[in-house]
């Protein structure tokens, strides 16, 4: 996740969400090159021209050298199933796109998504049951390493489920402000300190005015 110095991942009106440097983009593609699957929430895939693909030949070669498929699997999360079928992620057919949804999605919505995605999986009643979804992804699609690229609502659900091992954070030298601007973890949030995910800083690198932080998420007691 790339965030501003005031902790925002996009402007409040959602217009700006890409503000990291070229080096930040390179690091993102390096992360993708290690992942079996890349996942994002419905608002993220609708808000930008994100395809969740591996990027250029250089990164695809890296994947192959690491024993992975040339193109990563792509996963979109939409509990309502009301994600736009015009999202860029559905336009590129280089690797399967899976939509994780819930029983809230109408039959018509599921049918519409099936026309653009390779599989639509109902996993949960009102919100996606991520532990169950992860087990299914591992069994059916052999996903061992999954990279989640936000947004804040999806990240919060994964933290709440205790499913995040590592957080890669880029702090960019800007301030956006705005109550409504998303942050790296939104949702309802924790109510007490004991519920907070605890992190240990693994590495930190400064390049020009950006900071690249990698945190390990400590297991829950
Ligand atoms: N700077 C960065 O690095 C970065 C990275 C990613 C995104 N962004 C920006 O962040 C903004 C989007 O973030 P966001 O928090 O608003 O949205 P988001 O997390 O991308 O998507 C939220 C949607 O995902 C689905 N969803 C999330 N968690 C779910 C759960 N537990 N169960 C079922 N469905 C779930 C729901 O879709 P339905 O409503 O369809 O049910 C929900 O409305 C965009 O502006 C994007 O560009 C920035």
Please provide the DSSP assignment of 169-220 as one string: EEEES-----TTS--SS-TT--SSGGGS--EEEEEEEEETTEEEEEEEEPPP
Residue 87, helix vs strand vs coil? coil
Atom index in ligand 1 nearest the CA of residue 2 equals: 3
Residue 172, helix vs strand vs coil? strand
For 138, the token pair is 């591992």
Q: How many domains does the chain have?
A: 1
For 161, the token pair is 């489920």
Q: Which domain holds residue 98?
A: 2-217
Distance 77 CA to ligand 1 centre (A): 8
pLDDT in tens, 110-155: 999 999 999 999 999 999 999 999 999 999 999 999 999 999 999 9
Distance 94 CA to ligand 1 centre (A): 23
Closest CA to 142 of 98, 91, 111: 98
Mutation probe of ligand 1 site: the residue of 2, 4, 9, 149 with most atoms within 8 A of C-beta: 9
Closest CA to 52 of 33, 79, 65: 33
Mutation probe of ligand 1 site: the residue of 125, 129, 153 with most atoms within 8 A of C-beta: 153
If one compares 123 and 49, the residue with the highest pLDDT of the two is 123
Mean pLDDT, the chain, whole residue set: 96
Distance 61 CA to ligand 1 centre (A): 30
- CATH number, domain of 72, equals 3.40.430.10
Mean pLDDT of the 4-8 span: 98
**Stated pTM of the model:** 0.97
């Amino acid at each position: 996740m790339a965030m501003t110095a005031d902790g925002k991942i996009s402007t409040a009106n959602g217009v700006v969400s890409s503000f990291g440097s070229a080096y930040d983009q390179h690091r993102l593609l390096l992360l993708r090159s290690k992942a079996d699957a890349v996942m994002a929430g419905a608002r993220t895939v609708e808000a930008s021209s994100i395809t969740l693909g591996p990027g250029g030949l250089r990164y695809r070669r890296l994947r192959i050298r690491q024993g992975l498929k040339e193109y990563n699997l792509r996963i979109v999360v939409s509990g309502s199933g009301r994600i736009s079928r015009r999202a860029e992620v559905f336009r590129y057919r280089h690797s399967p796109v899976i939509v994780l949804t819930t029983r809230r999605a109408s039959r018509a919505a599921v049918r519409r998504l099936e026309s653009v995605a390779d599989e639509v999986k109902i996993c949960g009643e009102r919100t996606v049951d991520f532990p169950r979804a992860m087990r299914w992804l591992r069994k059916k699609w052999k996903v061992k390493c999954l990279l989640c690229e936000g947004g804040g609502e999806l990240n919060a659900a994964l933290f709440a489920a205790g499913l995040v091992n590592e957080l890669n954070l880029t702090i960019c030298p800007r301030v956006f402000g705005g109550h409504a601007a998303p942050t790296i973890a939104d949702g309802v949030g924790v109510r007490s300190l004991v519920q907070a995910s605890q992190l240990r800083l693994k590495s930190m690198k400064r390049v020009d005015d950006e900071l690249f932080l990698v945190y390990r998420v400590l297991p829950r007691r």
